Amino acid sequence: MNVLGDILSLTIIFTVPLLLVALGGMFSERSGVVNIALEGIMVIGALVSFLYMSKIRDSAFAAATPVLATLTGVAVAAVAGMVFALLLAFASIHLKADQTIGGTALNMFAPAFAILLTWTIQGQGQTAIYTPPWARISPTVFGADLQNLNFFQRVFLKEFFITTPLAIFILILVIIVLYKTKFGLRLRSCGEHPQAADSVGVNVYFMRYAGVGISGLLGGIGGFAYALAAGAGFSATVSGYGFLALAVMIFGNWKPLRIVGAASLFAFFKVISAMATAIPFLPSFQKISGGEYIYLMVPYVVTMIVLAFTSKRSRAPKASGIPYDKGAR
């Protein structure tokens, strides 16, 4: 039971970054820009926010109000991610560059830049930026007994960061914005039929900038959430979570609620693979070594199988990936 509780607990905290980043990717694609740079955006978000967090690590502000301090970290991650994403927006919207190539460049840039910067700040070879202890909210805050957690507490409180409730809040916000507001309607029209949007006076370029900007914002926060969930800290990588989030988005058919489902499924497999040896009821592949690699493969293999079955029916935004040219109509 305890193991199950731990698995679910970890699944939740790894769902958070996947969910946020996939929602970000969704905004970008729904506005018409394929954002393959999510991985790089996560790295930049995590990098800048963790540098900030380590800066305020011992400050009185953090000691007095750790939750607020973490939230300022979130804000820093969001801004950093957004600024970085605008590089993609500029190239693909204004200059009509190839969106995948631009994204690939950003993905290559981010981790290299992260190493360069952390070495300069922390000294040569010091890649890891450690998580301040106050970033994690201890179950004791909610009156739980650390030695004696019940199942519910184990699942929801054992590993608890402010990013978890934040993600739920963002999810609700995203659904409302996308379907209930003027902005959402216009954004979606740009990803489906930009000429139609243009003909009724919607500024397609602006909407696409907004879509990519939001994806950077959510991607940055996602990077922050990943680095928190990863445990010790941030070491210039998000281990392919950005790419996984892209798969989650496709799996979720560009719809927020389905993305929640896809994100938790993927997170679950990731956790299983990491804990394979500790889980008694799973086959431990005793005859072969390196069984964890089998579990590590599973999410990707599952994605491919699902893509094979769903891609014929999948509803990608129609104009996604196609630069919008005002002249051509």
Residues at the interface with another protein (CB under 8 A):
36, 87, 91, 95-98, 100-102, 104-106, 108-109, 111-113, 115-117, 119-120, 124-125, 180-183, 185-186, 188-189, 192-193, 195-202, 237, 239-240, 243, 246-247, 250, 288-290, 293-294, 296-297, 300-301, 303-304, 307-309, 311-312, 315, 318, 329
Residue (239 or 277) nearer to another protein, CB = 239
Q: How far is the CB of 181 from another protein (least distance, A)?
A: 5
Q: How far is the CB of 164 from another protein (least distance, A)?
A: 26
Q: How far is the CB of 92 from another protein (least distance, A)?
A: 8
The answer for 125, left when phi > 0, alpha when psi is -120 to 50, beta otherwise, is: left
Q: How far is the CB of 120 from another protein (least distance, A)?
A: 5
Residue (78 or 246) nearer to another protein, CB = 246
Residue (70 or 92) nearer to another protein, CB = 92
Among candidates 217, 260, 182, which has minimal Cα distance to 12?
260
Q: How far apart are the first and last CA of the chain?
A: 61
Q: How far is the CB of 58 from another protein (least distance, A)?
A: 25
| Buried b or exposed e, range 315-326, using 16+ CB within 10 angstroms | ebbebbbebbee
Q: How far is the CB of 273 from another protein (least distance, A)?
A: 9
The answer to whether residues 253 and 37 touch, using CB atoms and an 8 Å cutoff, is no
Residue (72 or 100) nearer to another protein, CB = 100
Residue (106 or 171) nearer to another protein, CB = 106
Residue (116 or 278) nearer to another protein, CB = 116
Residue (3 or 115) nearer to another protein, CB = 115
Q: How far apart are CA 84 and CA 78, in angstroms?
A: 10
Cα dihedral 158, 164, 168, 173, rounded to 10, equals: 170
Q: How far is the CB of 33 from another protein (least distance, A)?
A: 13
Please name the amino acid found at residue 219.
Answer: G
Tally Cβ neighbours within 10 Å of residue 193: 15
Q: Please state, in angstroms and as integers, the Cα–Cα distance from residue 261 to each residue in 69, 252, 253, following that order.
A: 30, 7, 11
Residue 267, classified by CB atoms within 10 Å of its CB into exposed (0-12), middle (13-18) or buried (19+), is: buried
